[in-house]
A and B are shown apart, each in its own frame.
Chain A
Amino acid sequence: MDSPLPRSRSFRRFGCLFLLILFPGMVSAKTTIHWWHAMGGVTGEYLEDIANGFNQSQSDYEIQPVFKGNYTETMTSAIAAFRAGKQPGLLQVFEVGTATMMYAKGAIRPVEKLMKDEGQPFDRSAFIPAVVSYYESDDGQLLSMPFNSSTPVLWYNQDAFDQAGVEQVPTTWKEVGEAAGKLVDSGMECGLSVGYQSWVLIENFSAWHNLPLGTLDNGYGGLGTQLTFNNNAVEGILGRLQEWTKDQRFVYGGRQGKSLPMFTNGKCGMWMNSSAYYGSIEDQAQFKFGQAMMPLDTKVASAPQNSIIGGATLWVLEGRPKEEYAGIARFLTYLSQPDVQKTWAERTGYVPITTAASALMKKQGFYQKNPGTDTAVRELSLNPPTANTRGLRFGNFVQIREVINTELEAVWAGKKTPGEAMDAAVEKGNKLLRRFEKAHKN
Chain B
Amino acid sequence: MLEAINLSKSYNGTVALDALNLKIEPGEIFCLLGANGAGKTTTINLFLNFIPPSSGTAKINQLDVVQHSLETKKFLAYIPEQVMLYRNLTGIENLEYFTSLAGERYTRDQLSGFLKEAGLPADAAEKRVGAYSKGMRQKVGIAIAIAKKAKALLLDEPTSGLDPKAANEFSELMKKMRDSGSAILVATHDLFRAKESGTRVGIMKHGRMVATLRTDEIGHADLERIYLEHMHD
Co-assembled chains A and B:
no
Chain B interfacial positions (CB closer than 8 Å to A): none
